[in-house]
Chain A
Amino acid sequence: MGLARYTLYRLLQAIPVLLGITIITFVLANLAPGDPVQLMLAGQEVDEELVEAIEQQYGLDRPLHERYVTYMAGVLEGDLGYSIHWGQPVTELILGRVGPTLLLVLSAYAFAIATAIPLGIIAATRRNEPTDHVSRIVALFGVSTPSFWIGIMLILLFAVQLGWLPSTGLVYPWRGPDAYAWIDTWPELLYQTARHLLLPMIALGTLQMATLMRVERTQMIESLHGEYVTLARAYGVPERTILRKHAFQNAQLPIITIIGLNLSTALSGAVLIEYVFNINGMGRLFIEAIQALDYQLIMGITIVFGTIFVVGVIVTDLSYAYIDPRVTYGEEE
């Protein structure tokens, strides 16, 4: 099977997965206790007629399966519904919030990869030495500490105590310097973006970093003990070359897998990190949607998160071939 056919095959496979996500979310959201109309009108003197009128307006008076079919028909046309809480199209709300979340998640991944791989290699090449012990402790701390707690500690240290970095918020580079009264130039805008992003990026990326580092270390140790490495050493290949060309490349496949699978952890972590750092991203919107029992917004965000995850996994699978030429997509004649 060629790459194109495999890609098509994986995309077709994704359809029932996404459909399953929508069905489960739709049913769970609708079975959850709480009435969105009553919540919307909480505290007001209302009558049954008003409640009925609102239910009719948002289609809440129709049976569950009818609502699902209508909803999915809209989704296929790019319409994710209408937020009962915000009074805005869900697609618009999500588009307004997806940028900060992607910026946060991608930067956290960049931080994780940039730190985990060198640290994993160092730990593997200096196995059972103090450097290895320290890196393992760091990894243990990273995987066992909640990201929101790391975030709060970073805020207390770098924002409150030292005053080096801002405690909350993000500066969005795509808005340009004109959007910020206190920023004049593009370099300044990018500098401020980096300053604001640093703490949430580290808070969210620490778990990814720790996970990746542990896998990288294990894989590198395994590779460095492989027969082909022993053979290369016997041939007198320099250690640096062995490390780079023989051990490192072979050790990266599991890393790619972990990166893909951890996308869901990163997205769910972003929900809390956005709260702690007061970032107006999809995670915060998701919590607000749940608190307001805004079904269509919950559905919309779940579909977007689900799609990001599914696409992420497909891209991960496809990237295997580029990392390791031995990987093929099915039997080759």
Chain B
Amino acid sequence: MVTFHHGLSRRQLLAAGASVSAATIAGCIGGNGEDDDAEILDPEEYDYDRDEPDDEDAARQSSMVYTQELERDEDFDPVVSNDAYSFQIITLVFDSLYEFDYEYELQPKVAVDFPDVERDDTRFIYEIHDGIEFHNGEELTASDVAHSFRAPVEEETPNMSTYDMIEEIDVIDDYQLQVDLAHQYGSWELFNQAVDIVPEDARTEDREEFNENPIGSGPFEWHDFQFGEYVELERFDDYWDEPQPYMESIRFEDNVDDASRVSEMLAHDTDAIGDVPNDDWGQLEDEDDIDVHVTESPSVTYIFFNTNEGAGTADPNVRRGIAHAFSLTDYVETYLNNAAIPLVTPTSRITNDLWEFPIEEWDDEIYPEYDPELAEELLDEHAPDDWNPTFMAPDDERATLAERVATRLDEIGYDMEVQTMDFGAMLDQTIYSEADPDNYELYILGWTGGPDPDQYLYSLFHESQEQLTNGHHYDGSDDFHDTIVEARETADQAEREQLYTELIEEVLTELPALPAYTEHNSMATGDHVRDMHVHPQMQYNPHLVSEESNVWIED
């Protein structure tokens, strides 16, 4: 079964995970994490205009250092890799059949156009551009595209689930191929068909070598690599597509410590850093020679309720009582005003925009607003006697939210214990556990989805994913889980929208999980880095060259 692509999967649960020391140290450079007067940042205000160099020849001699916020797994074969930070490099080395634009919609890249769809939405016929060359001089053909689709399944790589609904692939000629799915698959045209194309011959000759010295057809080619330290790419001068990149080279390093990474930026030891910590946003923004960039992302944080029998939170009225007891807006304003926006749906805002869900209606009519009196009333009526729930949280900013919920419940007479632990232990105690109410009744975690609601609803709410990617054990209405599968295996997008509307309304009414906030993708660059625009798909950053941006360094 499929949902994930472009390395999202392994990092999906890790999206907001911070290093052990980072959390401790960050406060030394940034503030104390509290800013009662803070306003929630609007990413649209950071939507910079395009920029063009005065001297194109000078721009073509640009090189930069980009500091990533987490270490890479150092898997650079897109068939195998499921690591977002390796994929930030992969997306520059490889071209994909389709690629996401800044609106998070797929656009043809190697494909000439969108596919011809036949056989009741299960047959897709693709035509690709001719004359595309890999970095080794071999021509990119339909056979390479077919291999790129097949290999994850044949080799059972971690990306297998993205393509395992493919029944058959027929290479019609060098520039056309036909992909048949075993059944309709709703997100195929929105997500899954954006396969990164690998050269079949070079890859199958020596897969291990290919993984550490990859050959693609993208705008940059592999230059140098030191395991665990850096990757250097150089511009591929025979790149087939327009625009040609200005950047001559880019070096990727990583620095997982927030404070240290911000220091690097302030000391100008790097040209750009990924992920601006919330508390350092103001300091970086105030620097004259540093630009901050931000955009919405498909990352969402939720408070999950244990709905197993025996848990106080098995009663939806108790869940709703807890949800009314505290203000998420107040929390985000205080602690995450530069890094997140409160959310009222289990899907991210960027996904909601694409699907045009009735957000305002849900916000007004279903989403539980802050109402301590109603919270007290619901809990007094429905919470078990001597109810002392446990709330588990990773030891980062999410623990602060858990503490805040506990404080508010304490104010209305309920004692909640907050347990914080490191991320691995947290997953083991919640998602991978049997959901014993004695262990926890609430937990908080994040999830990075994508443009399709299936990427949230299937993983986080379908019964098949219990103890794999969700630990709330929600039974749902009679056809809840069947509807999730039906929406996944339906190609009619209007019908899917209706199904997802029903599903989301049930989630918001029954609250197996309370959507809390959606996080941003952010970046800081020296002001000599020009025409940089942060992309909602984290794996696309730094987005060096596309029809919508072409980065260069100004002397």
Contact = CB atoms under 8 A, between A and B. Distances in A.
Contacts of A44: 4, 9-10, 82, 158, 161, 468-469
Nearest to A285: B228
Given A96-B228, A97-B228, A148-B25, A168 B255 contact: yes
Contact of B9 (A43, A169, A278, A285): A43
B412 interface: no
Contacts of A42: 10, 12-14, 427
Contacts of B465: 45
A44 B1 CA distance: 10
Contacts of B261: 278
A163 B259 contact: no
Contact of B427 (A38, A159, A160, A278): A38
Interface in B3-39: 3-4, 8-14, 19-22, 24-25, 28-29
A280 interface: yes
B263 A291 contact: no
A45 B9 CA distance: 9
Contacts of B509: none
B14 A272 contact: no
Nearest to B255: A278
B450 to A, nearest CB: 12
Contacts of B428: 33-35, 38
Contacts of A35: 428, 432
B269 interface: yes
Interface stretch (B130-138, B274-282, B364-372, B418-426): B418-426
B269 A167 contact: yes
Interface in A111-165: 148-149, 152, 155-156, 159-160, 163
Most chain A beta carbons < 10 A, residue from B161, B448, B468: B468
B4 A39 contact: no
Contacts of B378: none
Interface string B249-274: 00001111101110110111100000
A292 B424 CA distance: 7
Contacts of B25: 148, 152, 275-276
A270 to B, nearest CB: 12
A168 B269 contact: yes
Given A43-B11, A155-B260, A148 B425 contact: no
B213 interface: no
Given A42-B12, A160-B267, A287 B229 contact: no
A33 B429 contact: yes
Given A34-B425, A169-B269, A276 B257 contact: yes
B71 interface: yes
A301 interface: no
A82 interface: no
A45 B468 contact: yes
A27 B238 CA distance: 56
Nearest to A36: B424
A166 B9 CA distance: 35
Contacts of A26: none
A278 B257 contact: yes
A33 B3 contact: no
B459 to A, nearest CB: 7
A79 interface: no
Contact of B260 (A34, A45, A96, A276): A276
Interface in A276-290: 276-278, 280, 285, 287-288, 290
B71 A155 contact: no
A85 B268 CA distance: 32
A97 B75 CA distance: 19
Given A86-B73, A275-B256, A278-B257, A159 B269 contact: yes
Interface string A162-183: 0100111100000000000000
Contact of A46 (B256, B259, B267, B468): B468
Contacts of A85: 73
Contact of A167 (B75, B161, B267): B267
A168 B423 contact: no
Interface string B128-172: 000000000000000000000000000000100100000000000
B425 A33 contact: yes
Contacts, number: 139
Given A43-B14, A160-B263, A167-B264, A287 B425 contact: no
B498 to A, nearest CB: 25
Nearest to A37: B432
A45 B259 contact: no
B21 A275 contact: yes
B285 to A, nearest CB: 16
Interface string A266-277: 000000100111
A113 B10 CA distance: 46
A4 interface: no
B207 to A, nearest CB: 13
Nearest to B223: A181
A291 B9 contact: no
Contacts of B13: 42-43
Interface in A41-82: 41-46
A212 interface: no
Interface string B284-302: 0000000000000000000
Contacts of B421: 33
Contact of B228 (A43, A45, A160, A280): A280
B263 A45 contact: no
Nearest to B469: A43
A156 B259 CA distance: 10
Interface string A14-33: 00000000000000000011
Contacts of B73: 85-86
A107 to B, nearest CB: 19
Interface string B323-335: 0000000000000
Contact of B469 (A33, A45, A277, A280): A45
Contact of B424 (A34, A45, A46, A97): A34
Contact of A43 (B12, B227, B269): B12
A177 B32 CA distance: 43
Interface in B40-88: 71, 73-75, 82
A155 B258 CA distance: 14
B115 to A, nearest CB: 25
A149 B267 CA distance: 17
Contacts of B158: 41, 44
Given A38-B427, A152-B29, A168-B255, A45 B1 contact: yes
B267 A291 contact: no
A209 interface: no
Interface in B216-261: 227-229, 253-257, 259-261
A253 interface: no
Contacts of B74: 86
A293 interface: yes
A40 B465 CA distance: 16
A276 B19 CA distance: 11
A272 B259 CA distance: 12
Shortest beta-carbon contacts, A-B, top 6: A43-B12, A34-B424, A159-B267, A33-B425, A167-B267, A278-B255
Interface of B: 1-4, 8-14, 19-22, 24-25, 28-29, 71, 73-75, 82, 158, 161, 227-229, 253-257, 259-261, 263-264, 266-269, 421-425, 427-429, 432, 447-448, 458-459, 465, 468-469
17 contacts: A42-B427, A43-B4, A43-B12, A44-B9, A44-B10, A44-B161, A44-B469, A45-B1, A45-B459, A96-B228, A155-B260, A159-B269, A168-B255, A169-B253, A278-B257, A278-B260, A280-B228
Given A40-B10, A45-B1, A86-B74, 6 more contacts: A33-B421, A34-B428, A44-B158, A159-B263, A168-B255, A168-B263
